[in-house]
Each structure stands twice: as structure tokens, then as C-alpha cells.
């Protein structure tokens, strides 16, 4: 009953707002890409407010441009969380193209879709991301390649860390910035979200989206910690695997600290 009422409230507010903003965003996306970065930020903040999710920042997003953010990935809601912090664009797995409604919203936010199974396309995809970086878009890479269980991180994949170096070649700049970011879902209704209750927030790939979304709505008010790390400057001599390892080292360490901020159940 609670989930049904919450969903009705969300739709009653969000649907008309989205229908009004979507045509504006579509025009801006085509005519003024820089101006199109603001609407998604406001939309994500509205959705989090409706869901009852509170975001707690540790540090801040770097002001450097070009900038790529490398984050861990726990849930579909990570996009809302990060999207509420700054004007960002996301790098998403190719399957998202087939998700009803979500794919439409992702396209409006100028998401770059990548197929990690087709390695021969990796250079083209990295080139697309590089172009967006040089245009000034802050691109978010979920470096694990998929969502985890909220208790531990997966290894970071280094393939798309090639994009910043391609951006160097395209732009003639000396450096490109990469900033690691750790995300942790720690409390629910003010109570610690322990190991056995992480699935309420975490969305592993084998769980149906609809079922997880409804449970997320039913449970409500999450507190999410987001920690920004020191910027890693990439130049022509940088190795993508080294950059991936540096990002993973920070995210893994800070994730553990964020989880220890609250007692485990």
C-alpha cells in the first residue's frame, strides 16, 4: 500500500514535469548542448526528493576540464545520486538502449552507450567519449562494468580508461583529469544498512528492475554517502591500467571507510 501511494505521488508530480521539460531538453540537446546540462541536474534532484533519498558529500567534484569521473556502481539509483550533484553525462552499457522509458531518459541526458562484449568497437566508443570530454562534458564511468552487491567492490575494468588519452590527442591539451568517486548506501530511515539489508538498495544484474524499484519505493528514505577523491592527471605517457588501478585503490579504500561510518547489522 505504501509503495503504491508513493508511486502514485511520484507519477503525479514527475510525469507532468518530465513531459514539460523533455521537449525543452530535446531542443537544447540539438541546438545548445552546453545549456542542456542543467535540466537533468534539476530533474535528478526532484526525483531524489520524491524518493526520500538524501545525499551526503565528502569532498567536491573537481573544477578541472576536461574531466572524467570513475565511480563504483551499486544500483540504478547511482545515476540519480551523481546526477543530482553536478552537470554530468553518463557512460552506460549497451543493454540500456532496450529498457523502456529509461533509454529515452538516458538519451535526453546525452548518455554514451558502450558494448563491452564487442571489443573491436572499443576504439570507436572510446573516441566518442573522448570527443565529449573535449567538448566540456563531465563523463561518468562506472568502472566495475556492472552493479555490485553494495558490500564489496568488483575489479575496475581498464578498457574505457583509454578515452582520456584519446581526448589528449584530439584536443592538443597537455593533461586530462580523472577523479575517482566512492558511493555507499549506509542508512535506511536513519538506521544502519548492514550487510544483509544491502539488497534493498543494491541492484545486482540478476534481479528484475521492476521488483527492485518497487521495494526501493516501499522502503523509502536512504542516506547515500558520496566521496570525491584527488584528481589524477593523465598525460601522453600515462598508462590506462595504471590509472584504473589508482582509481580503484582510492574507491575501494574510501568505500570501506564510508561503510565503517555506520554500525553494521
Question: Which parts of the chain register pLDDT below 50?
Answer: 264-265
pLDDT in tens, 66-75: 999 999 999 9
Per-residue model confidence (pLDDT) at position 211: 82
Cα separation, 219 vs 215, whole angstroms: 6
Q: Using the structure block, give the residue that is written with the C-alpha cell 565528502.
A: 58
Rounded to 10 degrees, the C-alpha dihedral 158/126/118/97 comes to: 110
* Percent of the chain as helix, strand, coil, to the nearest 5: 50, 20, 30
In tens, the pLDDT along 7-55 reads: 788 888 988 999 999 999 999 998 888 889 999 999 999 999 988 899 9
CA angle 67, 40, 110 (to 5 degrees): 60
**Whether residue 257 has a cis bond before it, omega within 30° of 0:** no
Task: Find out whether 41 and 110 touch, Cβ atoms under 8 Å.
Answer: no
Q: Would you mind telling me the total number of residues written for the chain in this entry?
A: 265
- Say how far apart CA 205 and CA 146 lie, in whole Å: 7
Q: What is the pTM of this model?
A: 0.91
* Structural domains of the chain, ranges and CATH numbers in brackets: 2-260 (3.40.1130)
Give pairs for 89-93: CB < 8 Å, separation 24+. Answer: 89/37, 89/132, 89/137, 89/138, 89/139, 89/140, 90/139, 90/140, 90/142, 91/129, 91/139, 91/140, 91/141, 91/142, 91/160, 93/145, 93/146
Collect all residues with Cβ–Cβ distance below 8 Å to 206 and sequence separation of at least 6. Answer: none
Predicted pLDDT of residue 39: 95
DSSP summary character for residue 122: H
Residue carrying C-alpha cell 524499484: 213
Residues 186 and 225 sit within 8 Å (Cβ to Cβ): yes
Assess contact for 68 and 178: CB atoms under 8 A. yes
The Cα–Cα gap between 251 and 180 comes to: 6
Q: What are phi and psi of 48, to 5 degrees?
A: -65, -40
Amino acid at each position: 500500500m505504501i509503495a503504491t501511494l508513493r508511486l502514485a505521488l511520484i507519477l503525479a508530480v514527475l510525469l507532468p514535469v518530465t513531459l514539460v521539460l523533455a521537449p525543452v531538453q530535446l531542443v537544447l540537446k540539438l541546438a545548445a548542448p552546453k545549456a542542456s546540462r542543467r535540466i537533468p541536474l534539476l530533474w535528478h534532484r526532484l526525483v531524489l526528493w520524491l524518493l526520500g533519498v538524501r545525499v551526503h558529500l565528502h569532498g567536491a567534484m573537481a573544477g578541472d576540464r576536461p574531466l572524467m569521473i570513475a565511480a563504483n556502481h551499486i544500483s540504478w539509483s547511482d545515476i540519480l545520486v551523481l546526477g543530482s550533484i553536478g552537470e554530468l553525462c553518463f557512460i552506460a552499457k549497451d543493454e540500456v538502449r532496450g529498457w523502456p522509458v529509461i533509454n529515452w531518459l538516458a538519451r535526453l541526458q546525452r548518455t554514451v552507450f558502450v558494448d563491452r562484449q564487442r571489443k573491436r568497437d572499443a576504439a570507436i566508443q572510446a573516441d566518442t567519449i573522448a570527443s565529449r570530454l573535449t567538448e566540456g562534458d563531465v563523463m561518468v564511468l562506472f568502472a566495475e562494468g556492472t552493479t555490485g552487491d553494495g558490500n564489496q567492490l568488483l575489479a575496475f575494468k581498464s578498457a574505457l580508461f583509454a578515452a582520456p588519452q584519446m581526448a589528449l590527442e584530439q584536443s592538443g591539451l597537455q593533461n586530462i583529469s580523472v577523479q575517482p568517486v566512492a558511493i555507499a548506501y549506509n542508512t535506511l530511515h536513519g538506521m544502519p544498512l548492514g550487510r544483509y539489508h544491502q539488497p534493498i538498495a543494491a541492484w545486482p544484474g540478476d534481479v528484475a528492475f521492476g521488483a527492485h524499484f518497487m521495494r526501493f519505493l516501499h522502503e523509502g528514505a536512504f542516506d547515500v554517502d558520496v566521496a570525491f577523491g584527488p584528481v589524477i592527471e593523465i598525460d601522453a605517457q600515462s598508462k590506462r591500467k595504471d590509472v584504473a588501478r589508482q582509481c580503484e585503490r582510492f574507491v575501494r579504500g574510501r568505500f570501506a571507510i564510508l561503510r565503517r561510518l555506520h554500525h553494521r547489522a
